[in-house]
Structure 1
Amino acid sequence: MNGLRLDARDVEILRVLETEGRITKAELASRINLSPSPCWDRLQRLEKAGIIEGYGARISLKALAPHVVIFVAAELETHKTDQFTTFETAVQDIPEVTACWALGGGFDYLLQVVTRDIDAYQRLIDGMLASDIGMARYYTYIVTKPVKSPSPLPYDALELPQKD
């Protein structure tokens, strides 16, 4: 956490912003029972420390366009540092890969992929296999329905400062 120590008010700022990113600074200050200037200072400190990575809107893919969401468990050909670097660099440039996690255990990576349809997905995978990014095997898991979408962090389950 870059040495930044959070207190209960900092955590409350994060809680509010995570679900209400468009809240005005004045309303945020009121909500956490702090005057606007100190609230603004705290907000800037959280941003500068990298705790707040950005602000954005949640987009309904279902309302936007037909699509398919696929999770891909990928294994690399070798487990050398340069192979991991090559793969990780390559997926940064593939817009259909909307998220990627390095894993410990059986698979090397879990990728979240969004494409127009299964044919587009297969063309993407074929291209990844043909390229020199080191992917040896992949396992496809097609999302049939969302059950729980990304939700706010479980602040109460983490060891964070709590309000009295």
Structure 2
Amino acid sequence: MSPLRPELRLDDRDIAILAVLSREGRIAKTDLAGRVNLSPTPCWERMKRLEKAGLIRGYRAEIDLVGLGPHVQVFVTVELESHRAESFQIFERTIARMDQITGCWAIGGGYDYLMQVVTRDVAAFQSLMDGLLESRAGVRRYFSYIVTKPVKNLPPASALLGDGGG
């Protein structure tokens, strides 16, 4: 999310719109208006303003991975061989092309990145990681953590919007 611009002031209804949309992106606009105590036209105008400001970047469906078939979800911490700016750029360009890596964050602390990986099984995960190690991505070492069950998974915006969800 881009930093809040001084000319963009959010009030309680803007925050409520963002909170509802972060959980229910497909909610009907009339239902959204009712939930935030606005009539449909002003609610729609606020949504458009929030989209134009870049606070709403898109709308997505939450897919039940179990319904798609067998899979494994793995979180991976990655340490690079070198900490030059070019090394970070090469790594980031490399993983951007790998669809199985569904999330990646640069992190502070003992590791350089935290990745989220989804593959059909552990063998496919290991093949992905072997390919990453053989590439010129500059990975020194990695540690993998297989998800055994989801416990909580809210949209990240819920924490900032104070919607009390979860």
Cα deviation 1:51-93 (Å, max 9, x = unaligned): 1121111111112110111111000110011111111111111
Q: Distance in 2 between matches of 1:153 and 1:34?
A: 21
State the TM-score, normalizing by the size of structure 1: 0.89
Which residue of structure 1 aligns with residue 64 of structure 2?
A: 60
What does 1:66-77 correspond to in 2, within 5 Å?
66-77=70-81
What does 1:99-138 correspond to in 2, within 5 Å?
99-138=103-142
The Cα shift of 1:26 comes to 2.0
Cα deviation 1:79-136 (Å, max 9, x = unaligned): 0111111111111110000100100010000001011111111111110011111111
Tell me the amino acid that sits aligned with residue 100 of structure 1. Answer: C
Mean Cα displacement is larger for which, 59-68 or 21-30?
Answer: 21-30
Coordinate RMSD, CA, aligned? 1.7
Structure 1 runs not aligned, ≥5 long: 158-164
Tell me the amino acid that sits aligned with residue 156 of structure 1. Answer: G
Which residue of structure 2 aligns with residue 41 of structure 1?
A: 45
Determine if the alignment matches structure 1 residue 86 to structure 2 residue 90: yes
Determine if the alignment matches structure 1 residue 28 to structure 2 residue 11: no
Which residue of structure 2 aligns with residue 162 of structure 1?
A: none
Q: Distance in 2 between matches of 1:133 and 1:63?
A: 33
Q: Distance in 2 between matches of 1:72 and 1:128?
A: 12
State the TM-score, normalizing by the size of structure 2: 0.88
Structure 2 runs not aligned, ≥5 long: none
| Equivalent of residue 162 in structure 2, options 152, 156, 162 | 156
Q: Distance in 2 between matches of 1:103 and 1:9?
A: 33
Which residue of structure 2 aligns with residue 14 of structure 1?
A: 18
Q: Distance in 1 between matches of 2:52 and 2:96?
A: 24
Equivalent residues, number? 158
Q: Distance in 1 between matches of 2:38 and 2:67?
A: 38
Q: Distance in 1 between matches of 2:28 and 2:84?
A: 48
Q: Distance in 1 between matches of 2:132 and 2:119?
A: 14
Mean Cα displacement is larger for which, 20-29 or 67-76?
Answer: 20-29
